[in-house]
Structure 1
Amino acid sequence: MTIDDLTKVKVLLSIKDSNQDDLLNLLLEDNEARLLSYINQDGNTSVKFPTELAWLLREITVRRFNRIGDEGKKSSSESDVSATWSDDDVQDFAVYLNKYRQRKGGRGTARFI
């Protein structure tokens, strides 16, 4: 049995209704495009998002969802609780993405003059 990414994100966020499905689907779609852009920056021709990186898509989606309302901030605090966010969620996972890119042929940029 396979569970789709939306359902998995909702489990991670403890969301039991469908009130925020449109927002979560938009975040999943945007994050998938961002990750594909990073993976394909060397001109690779990957057409589909690699399923082995689906965990990363969900992780970044949860991060972005939790940051809604605090866009543009580097940190926020309320009483004794504070949170700090990265400027670039994709860059935080570059080590995994770069390994995937190298396996699929993305080893850098060659320029002929």
Structure 2
Amino acid sequence: MAITYEIKKLLGGSSDERLEIIEKRTRERLLIILGSDLKEVPPELEYVVLDVSLKRFNRIGQEGMQSYSQEGLSMTFSESDFDEYADEIESWRKSRETEGDKKIGRFRLY
């Protein structure tokens, strides 16, 4: 029932309700992408939540589309809303691994 409720709010709710659901789902997805034992999005990556939430909000009604054209206006959507942040996410992961190695006295040879 929760999914049905969220879909209804995304399609016909107020802007605040839409944004609340989009932010919640964006955070959940980013945590999966980060692939760790985190309970919340790290402060360094909050901007990703903001940017992706805004993208998703602006795309309501065009979900699932890869491109859109109308009267000379053309938009192309990436496979994932997180694609353009892949480098930053990977950099964050690496810095976290490095911090973990320092805390337990490990080092890496490259």
State the Cα distance separating 1:59 from its structure 2 match.
0.6
**Which residue is 1:93 aligned to?**
85
Tell me the C-alpha RMSD between the 2 structures: 1.5
State the Cα distance separating 1:58 from its structure 2 match.
0.7
**Which residue is 1:27 aligned to?**
22
> Gapped runs of 5+ residues in structure 2?
1-13, 99-110
More helix, by proportion: 2
Give the structure-2-normalised TM-score: 0.71
**Which residue is 2:32 aligned to?**
37
Residue-pair matches, total: 85
CA distance in 1, matches of 2:32, 2:81: 13
**Which residue is 2:105 aligned to?**
none
**Which residue is 2:46 aligned to?**
54
Identify the structure with bigger relative contact order (alpha carbons < 8 Å, sequence gap 6+).
1
Task: Report SS of the residue matched to 2:82.
Answer: helix
State the Cα distance separating 1:91 from its structure 2 match.
2.5
Give the structure-1-normalised TM-score: 0.69
Residues 19-47 of structure 1: CA deviation (Å, up to 9, x unaligned) = 3111101100100111111112xxx3222
